[in-house]
Amino acid sequence: MSSSSATLQSLPPTAAWSELFTGRNGWRALALTGGVALHAVNVHIVTTVLPSVVREIGGLDWYAWSTTLFVVGSILGATLSVRLLAVLGPRGACLAALAVFGAGSVGCAVASSMPWMLAGRTVQGLGGGLLAALSYGLIQLVFAQRLWPRAVALVSGMWGVATLCGPAVGGLFAQAGHWRWAFWFLLPVAAAQALLVLVQLRPSAGVTHVRPAVMPSVPAVQIGLLALSVLVIAASGLWPGLRWQAAGVMLGLAIGFAATRIDSRATVRVLPRGAYSMRTPMGAIYASVALLLIGTTTEIFVPYFLQVLHGHSPLAAGYLTAAMAGGWSVGSLLSSGRSGAGADRMLRAGPVICTLGLALLAWLLPSPGVLGDAAETLMVAVALAAVGLGVGIGWPHLLTRVMALAPKGEEGLASASITTVQLYGMAVGAAVAGLVANAAGLTTPGGPAGAQSAAAWLFASFALAPAAAAWLARRAASGRGA
């Protein structure tokens, strides 16, 4: 039996939900997940109001950049979270992340042009990346190992909370012609979360801060190269001709590959040892995470297609789009109690379901009226939910295995790196999505005809990412690398 298989088989049984929500555990869970909920609500708010934003301040050709720069900022935040946690402790780090997120929200609320909006989104992303990484990173510090799958599922489940209020906030403000107030709305929510952190993560509540003798270093070169690779891919969409655009994508991917080569030999790393080899279960798991997240970034264009092609209001388009996050949350919560062979089945089935959902969207979104309004709306919701469900049912088991397989002494790095890989997949996905949509006609010729072409090409091509993850997940579930 391999050491990896032995490690996975030695995982303790998953605790019941009641243990996570009982007593001090419950308050700590709320303090950890509130930041992710704020981050997730913001994502759905922006997804919903962005069509209104570009109608007022322009910048349709920069549409995907709002997500690209947000996620690049999130990558930086996720990487800095380990250092911030070491310096400020759990409570101070969470409060600093909330402050940065609030500053970015103010910048978006007062934006008078798309460059200004993009700057605010970058700062928002920095704070959001810190919040997300801290939530995952603190799980193993404040909970027993038997609670890890439940805690991971709960953090993921916060995206379900976002599906209830994010589209409503964004849609109602957008329909009223006051999209800026959607960003102002985030500030009192952030203040309430800060108060919860102050109370529940204080030393007297049992969450102590032991300052390490040696401060963790930041892998600045690797992170800089990862950010540069995403920006080069995104910028390639601005270059003339498909040949130059393809060259820009290849250059960006080459820069990302160079970052992995440097990191695999570095003393200060972004990912733990074994993460870059497809021959190891850990490497297959990391690759699966990135590919699944690439597939979900198609979400950023869904509200635009639903409004332009299907005539939905901002509120209705926002809620339909949120079905993807809802499917993710439901799948994560329902599958988190599985273990052994049941967990392996979830890992194998998830990417297949995600692929089928994207393929169905490639047919539905460019073809308004093909099924009739009611049936079409229902099928779009089902397809979007399937994309999220496919990610969600395997998510707790992917992340738990990363933490369990981490080399000794690199457990904290493994926890933080989950968010880094997730965000890099999203950033690359958003950049490529913008490139594909623009090349397929989103801006030229534009209008309904351009949107139809962009929708067909976008979802059909992006279905290939979870299809590749399906192969990797099968091998990871069997305990073998690629």
Q: Is 70 exceeded by the pLDDT of residue 236?
A: yes
Q: Note the pLDDT of residue 350.
A: 92
CA distances from 185 to 95, 165, 211, 240, 284 (A): 18, 11, 35, 40, 40
213: Cβ–Cβ under 8 A, 6 or more apart, which residues? none
CA atoms within 13 A on the CB side of 233: 29
pLDDT digit string, tens, across residues 38-96? 888 888 788 889 989 998 998 888 888 898 899 889 888 888 888 888 888 888 999 99
Separation CA 69–CA 300 (nearest Å): 13
- The closest of 120, 113, 133 to 69, measured between CA atoms, is 120
φ/ψ of residue 233, rounded to 5: -60, -45
Q: Identity (one letter) of the amino acid at 461?
A: S
Share of the chain above pLDDT 90, in %: 33
Q: What's the whole-number mean pLDDT along residues 245-260? A: 90
Q: Is 70 exceeded by the pLDDT of residue 395?
A: yes
Q: Is 70 exceeded by the pLDDT of residue 214?
A: no
> Is there a contact between 255 and 439 (Cβ–Cβ < 8 Å)?
no
The model's pTM is 0.76
Chosen CATH of 22-207+269-477 out of 1.10.287.1260, 3.40.50.10190, 1.10.10.10, 1.20.1250.20: 1.20.1250.20
Q: What SS3 class is residue 269?
A: coil
Share of the chain above pLDDT 70, in %: 90
Q: Note the pLDDT of residue 477.
A: 64
Separation CA 371–CA 108 (nearest Å): 39
CA atoms within 13 A on the CB side of 79: 24
What are the extents of the domains in the chain? 22-207+269-477
